[in-house]
Amino acid sequence: MLLQIPELLNSAQIDKIREILEGAEFVDGKLTAGMAASRVKENQELGPDPQIQQRLNRVIMASVGQNARFRSAVLPHRLADFILARYQPGMHYGDHVDDPIMGGGKFRTDVSMTLFLNDPDSYEGGELVIRTPFGDQRVKLAAGSAVVYPSRSVHHVAAVTRGERLVALTWIQSFVRESERRELLFELDQAREHLLRTAPDSDHAKQVDRSYANLLRMWAEL
């Protein structure tokens, strides 16, 4: 499932991130790439500064952890620290699949997330292109909006031809490994939430609520 999450961060949080990044050092993105990815990766990433990283994660996680759409679609179990990536003219990231295990073997990557941090009109190119059974999906969102997609997807970042593309990236181990099951649970949860708001005492609401809970119990991995 490829899902957009609009306005995950507000304008004040975007401004705070820009303030934190003032004067920060960016390094060659190949330093964090595996053997295959390093051959197609041309970008820059925020250098290893624990204080800056901690401040950025605090700002972003304050919204991510509270976003109902994110929680419902992803069912997050473990979440990696965010990586800040920068693309300037000529930079791109060719076709690749994200590493299956991250954090020094601590967690499996089920879901990838790209959070856009600058206005799409401020740069040309730089679309996130995700290969799906229905064709390539090109994603370039407003500042503060995010997209989540299965980490197993082949994807690339188109070359930036003007301006600067700034994004925050993370990877999530979900309680539910299979993307098809997560998609089914997400759709069922949307129906469940609607019924619990509009007809909480109805038999239909109780049946859907029970079905959602028991499917999640059946498929969740702890």
* All structural domains of the chain with their residue ranges: 3-174, 179-219
Q: Report d(CA 100, CA 122) in Å as an integer.
A: 33
Q: Report d(CA 67, CA 3) in Å as an integer.
A: 13
Residue 34 confidence (pLDDT) above 90: no
Which class does domain 3-174 fall in?
Answer: mainly beta
Output the CA angle 60-222-133, nearest 5 degrees. Answer: 70
pLDDT, mean of residues 36-51:
92
167: left (phi over 0), alpha (psi -120 to 50) or beta: beta
Query: pLDDT digit string (tens) for 60-106?
Result: 999 999 999 999 999 999 999 999 999 999 999 999 999 999 988 89
Residue 7 makes CB contacts below 8 A (sequence gap 6+) with 142, 144, 145
